[in-house]
Amino acid sequence: MKINVNTLFKMAAEGQKITMLTCYDTSFATLLDDAGVEILLVGDSLGMVIQGEDSTLPVTMEQMEYHTRCVARGAKNALVLSDMPFGSYQESPQQAFANAARLMQAGAHMVKVEGGAFMAETTRFLVERGIPVCSHIGLTPQFVNSFGGYRVQGKSENDAERILHDASALADAGASLVLMECVPAALAKRVSDGIAVPTIGIGAGVDVSGQVLVLHDILGVYPGRKARFVKNFMAGADSIQAAVAGYVTAVKARSFPAEEHCF
């Protein structure tokens, strides 16, 4: 079954967990698609796991287009979600549309934009012009220098209220998904309960519509520091296919993330 925005809303309404993994090439796109992963995220995380950079900031539009095309060729049923790289959308809604259109023409079905309520105008601009948007709030890696590192967001009441406001503003602007990264599980639940849009978590507890992890993390091959929310699904698996199937099963069964993966 071909996954689209309506499928995701239906799954969320029925309490069926949505699975998402990052993906950067055709071979893995085919494997993940066959395993039933609903969303393939062509993440700017490729800067770190593919290129060996220290952050996502060096990734370019040309690189995102290239990897989006590769993934789109292998995705028969999954929805292809592509990251808008740093510097490709912050200047103006018009700049964001021009670059989002490039990713859609490369095969994306939706684009992901980092930032809170200040990105609502840009989100609305894109949606009104036929580009579905996944909003990314909480820990937004492109803002790592502003945050002073990769830190949990929303721990204080003021920060929690800001994230709640961000989610509401972006949902009202027409976002099709709201992705939360590194926020306390209780806050993620408040966000999910408060908006009529499917929510995706990474380090955001189990009470969201779905989960996402970086492919290289679930396979245990990324050499960098492992975040608390990461689980190596290759441990005990006899193949990559089995590891991916284990991830899908665990998310659907709500056994991942467990308490040790949450904040």
CA distance 206 to 255: 8
Active site residue 91: no
Mean pLDDT computed over 198-215: 98
- pLDDT for 226 equals 87
Mean pLDDT computed over 159-184: 98
- pLDDT for 236 equals 94
Q: How far is CA 219 from the centre of its chain?
A: 18
Mean pLDDT computed over 19-27: 98
CA distance 107 to 143: 27
Mean pLDDT computed over 234-257: 98
Please determine, for residue 149, whether its predicted confidence score (pLDDT) is greater than 90: no
pTM of the model: 0.97
**pLDDT tens-digit map of 86-137:** 999 999 999 999 999 999 999 999 999 999 999 999 999 999 999 999 999 9
Mean pLDDT computed over 182-191: 98
- 128 assigned to a ligand binding site: no
- 44 assigned to a ligand binding site: yes
Q: What is the CATH number of the domain that holds 99?
A: 3.20.20.60
- In the chain, DSSP finds a helix count (H) and a strand count (E) of 11, 8
Confidence of residue 146 (pLDDT cuts 50, 70, 90): confident
CA distance 135 to 123: 8
- pLDDT for 150 equals 84
Please determine, for residue 25, whether its predicted confidence score (pLDDT) is greater than 90: yes
- pLDDT for 147 equals 82
Helix axes 26-34, 61-74, angle to 10 degrees: 50
- pLDDT for 225 equals 83
Residue for token digits 């519509």? Answer: 209
**pLDDT tens-digit map of 50-88:** 999 999 999 999 999 999 999 999 999 999 999 999 999
- 62 assigned to a ligand binding site: no
Active-site residue, selected from the candidate residues 14, 62, 121, 181? 181
- 259 assigned to a ligand binding site: no
Maximum distance among all Cα pairs of the chain, rounded to whole angstroms: 48
Domain boundaries, position 243:
5-261
Domain total in the chain = 1
